Amino acid sequence: METVYTQGIWMAERLQQRTMSQENMWQLVTHIGDPKAAFLLVFPFTYFISKRAGVAVLWVAAISEWLNLVFKWMLFGERPYWWIAESRLFINNQPNIHQFSSTCETGPGSPSGHAMVTAAVWWVVVSSLGSYLHSRTHSVMLSAAPYLLYVVMLVAVGISRIFILAHFPHQVIAGSITGFILGIFLSRRVPEGRPLLFFFSLSVGLLLGTVMLHAGLRQLGIDLSWSIALAKKWCSRAEWVRLDSAPFSSLTRDCGALLGLGLAQYWKPGGWPLRLAPRALSLAISSMGLYHVNRLPLPVRPPGLFYGLFFVKFVMVPQVVMVLVPGLVHLVTHRRRND
């Protein structure tokens, strides 16, 4: 693997040297590819166009990110920004590379979560859009356009992850392929209309099962916090190492979103009947609401409190998008029509 890692470092150096003037663009692309964006941006946007597609996006995002966490714990992938120093292969020939504010993620590196979740979630979006265009226009060119954009997006997200030294190229490729397969598989098994007990059991089962896996591996002498220690040791700035990028943050986000999805479908199984204009208004209000929910400061000490509040935060995401905001908009617009 040393050869693969070394070639990845030199590729990152060339990429930074040739495209450093596009730093802001790569930073934006990596934020768009952040798994968190699937919950806070892609989900509400998709839901107010197609309720089933929106539910599918949330479902696929949660399961694919959870699987990515498990894969990372099993594969122990390095990250470029710490491997450069830890490998001691570059003492006499230091690469000219830079870290950025989004570089210092704390989980293992393989496979790339950004690439994997992006590939899975956006497959739901583009396949739905492609099917819609084909049924409306019967044009092969138009129906193929979303899939072309899908490939362009995956390539852009992958390059952005290499550029900021968060991943090696092979980790991005592995994440993209795995996410693509998961997107196809999970989008055909969307739990729309399932009882609340299903989502409660799934959320608790994934949470407890993952915690037990973590404890079991520790009993075997496998330290799963090794990557966090390396992140803190080799990140250029201490403030770039954030608790919300830790593996357990991903876990609580996924389990919270799944429980929230079940609660939302329990409160309002069929959703609120909204026309085009109220849907657009609901999307705007939901986006603003989720923006402020995401910006709520959480105490980082003790970590258990942080993870508990992080879980609650993402339980609220489906409530805001599927129940609270559409219900409020429906109430206001319905009253106006009656007046």
Burial class (CB in 10 A: 0-12, 13-18, 19+), 41: middle
- Position 77, amino acid: G
* Residues flagged as binding site: 79, 161
Per-residue pLDDT of the chain (339 residues; tens, 9 = 90+): 889 999 999 999 999 999 999 999 999 999 999 999 999 999 999 999 999 999 999 999 999 999 999 999 999 899 999 999 898 888 788 899 999 999 999 999 999 999 999 999 999 999 999 988 888 888 888 889 999 999 999 999 999 999 999 999 999 999 999 999 999 999 999 998 899 999 999 999 999 999 999 899 888 888 888 999 999 999 999 999 998 888 999 999 999 999 999 999 998 877 777 788 889 999 999 999 999 888 888 888 898 999 999 999 999 999 999 999 999 998 888 766 555
C-alpha span between 220 and 13 (Å, rounded): 38
Positions annotated as catalytic residues are 114, 167
C-alpha span between 273 and 304 (Å, rounded): 39
* Residues flagged as binding site for substrate: 79, 161
C-alpha span between 317 and 144 (Å, rounded): 32
